[in-house]
Amino acid sequence: MLDAAQTLSPAVFLDRDGVLNEMVYDPTHGLLDSPRRAEQVVAVHNAKELLLELRLMGYKIIVVTNQPGIAKGTLTSSDLHTVHETLDAALAPATWDALEFCPHHPEFGVACECRKPKPGMLMKAALENHIDLSKSWMVGDGLVDVQAGRAAGCKTVLVTKLKVNVVERFFEMQGAEPDFVVRNLVEVLGCIRGELTFQKCRE
């Protein structure tokens, strides 16, 4: 519970993979996946600049990421920690205020409340960091990010290179329609600043 001297702050919740760091091709499965080793970590273009600008605007910065590789046995907690340290160094002097990750996967024995599209990571970070969710944003490259953000009461931004008419086919999913659809992190900043309208972001 907040005391009289504490006030709630706005925050920007950011997905990690595909938003802050580039995805990595996994030849075993033929898919793009999360980096599992330090040498695979490459910051997304303009990620550092986005974090620095959000900080200047007064937002707390919270990273929220599903990391089911831990449940699947393809990623160790130590390797995940190393990836986060490497990404933090790659984004310096920008940084985040908190990082939440979900290590679970429903096919591997755990039905949790933290795995996106559930809003558990956002709710936990909001409580621990005194965040006003109604004044906050969720930015991600997947519809699960949008669903988690909407469930937590945040405005949502979907970052995708797909054409909007393609993405809209999935909006009928419950809670999956974002407030904004953008192509890159520069446009993310424009949305949060109020420089881009909903329609402009979707063109």
CATH number at residue 132: 3.40.50.1000
Is 197 inside any structural domain?
A: yes
How does pLDDT run across 88-142, given as a tens digit for each residue?
999 999 999 999 999 998 887 778 999 999 999 999 999 999 999 999 999 999 9
Range of the domain at 172: 11-16+46-71+93-202
Is 51 inside any structural domain?
A: yes
- Is this structure's pTM higher than 0.95? no
Q: Is pLDDT of 54 > 50?
A: yes
Q: Is pLDDT of 196 > 90?
A: no
Is 30 inside any structural domain?
A: no
Strands, sheet with 11-14, edge to edge from the N-terminal-most edge strand: 98-102, 60-66, 11-14, 137-140, 155-159, 180-182
In the chain, % of residues over pLDDT 90:
74
Q: What is the rounded average pLDDT of the residues 60-67?
A: 98
Is 59 inside any structural domain?
A: yes
Q: Nearest Cα to 59, choosing from 13, 15, 122, 20?
A: 13
| pLDDT at position 150 | 96
For residue 130, which amino acid is it? H
Q: Nearest Cα to 201, choosing from 172, 154, 144, 158?
A: 158
Residues known to be catalytic: 15, 17
Q: Which residue has the higher pLDDT, 85 or 162?
A: 85
Q: Is pLDDT of 4 > 50?
A: no
Number of domains in the chain: 1
Is 79 inside any structural domain?
A: no
Q: What's the chain's average pLDDT? A: 90
Is 60 inside any structural domain?
A: yes
Lowest mean pLDDT of 75-84, 108-117, 187-196, name the range.
108-117
Q: Which residue has the higher pLDDT, 33 or 100?
A: 100
Is 147 inside any structural domain?
A: yes
Is 39 inside any structural domain?
A: no
Q: Based on the number of CB atoms within 10 Å of its own CB, is 25 exposed (0-12), middle (13-18) or buried (19 or more)? A: exposed
